[in-house]
């Protein structure tokens, strides 16, 4: 441990597995106090046993504003401040033809992948203004599918592209208002998690120049940088971690 995040308090959504858990592991290693949230709390005791005493778990539906209010209240009660918010929670697309996509499915993925990031920004900024001297770092986990269209994930690409521009606009607005709250997006390529359908894996591998998928900790490490003071001049930026796929 090098204590790059020592003294900082972070909320990481969608932290029960995959990329979110990888980020949480890196944050705890670097000395942060971490609030892991997820709608799935079945393995919460195992997660906390793994992360140690500097972490707590809160069940959280990121698409509901009142649940954001509760998570922020619990975070402040436990740790007294908020320095970092990682908007990571998300779901995959339907994989179907756009003309066959039910409006109900569209609204669901929009709420989980994009509206939740707006709600997180709103709650996180207010908490940072009130409890953290109007300073902090907000990291939105987008995707390479937010930079180029994913043909078998039209709805997913739309939400991740929306997250990208929400990040840009929020970052510029905060900076121009004189608030030291940075907002950046991270764009993972193919990371080896359960969100990738098994029948797509063999088609995906040849598209990755380095020859293999990434692991959740690969995203965790860039999030350590963005959460730390090392990245104090980075805001409104896109950080692509994709094994060279878009090079």
Q: Which residues participate in catalysis according to the annotation? A: 156
* Burial tier of 64 (Cβ tally within 10 Å: 0-12, 13-18, 19+): middle
Which H/E stretch holds residue 33?
A: strand 33-38
* Burial tier of 52 (Cβ tally within 10 Å: 0-12, 13-18, 19+): exposed
* Helices 154-176/103-110 angle, 10° precision: 40
User: Do residues 17 and 35 touch, judged by C-beta distance below 8 A?
Assistant: no
DSSP-based three-state secondary structure for 58: strand
Nearest to residue 23, comparing CAs of 168, 201, 182, 226? Answer: 226
DSSP-based three-state secondary structure for 99: helix
Nearest to residue 193, comparing CAs of 68, 91, 81, 71? Answer: 91
């Amino acid at each position: 441990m090098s204590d790059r995040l020592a003294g900082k308090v972070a909320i990481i959504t969608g932290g029960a597995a995959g990329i979110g858990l990888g980020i949480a592991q890196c944050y705890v290693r670097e000395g942060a106090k971490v609030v892991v949230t997820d709608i799935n709390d079945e393995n919460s005791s195992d997660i906390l046993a793994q992360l140690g005493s500097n972490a707590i778990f809160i069940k959280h539906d990121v698409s509901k504003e009142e649940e954001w209010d509760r998570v922020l209240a619990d975070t402040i009660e436990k740790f007294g401040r908020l320095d970092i918010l990682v908007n990571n929670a998300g779901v995959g697309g339907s994989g179907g033809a756009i003309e066959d996509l039910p409006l109900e499915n569209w609204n669901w993925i929009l709420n989980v992948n994009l509206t939740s990031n707006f709600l997180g920004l709103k709650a996180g900024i207010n908490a940072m203004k009130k409890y953290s001297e109007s300073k902090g770092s907000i990291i939105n986990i987008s995707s390479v599918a937010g930079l180029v269209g994913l043909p078998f994930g039209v709805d997913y690409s739309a939400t991740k592209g929306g997250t990208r521009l929400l990040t840009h606009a929020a970052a510029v607005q905060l900076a121009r208002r004189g608030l030291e709250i940075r907002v950046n997006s991270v764009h993972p390529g193919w990371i080896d998690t359960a969100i990738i359908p098994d029948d797509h894996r063999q088609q995906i591998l040849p598209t990755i120049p380095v020859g293999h998928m990434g692991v959740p900790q690969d995203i965790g490490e860039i999030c350590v940088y963005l959460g730390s003071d090392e990245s104090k001049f980075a805001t409104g930026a896109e950080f692509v971690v994709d094994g060279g796929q878009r090079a």
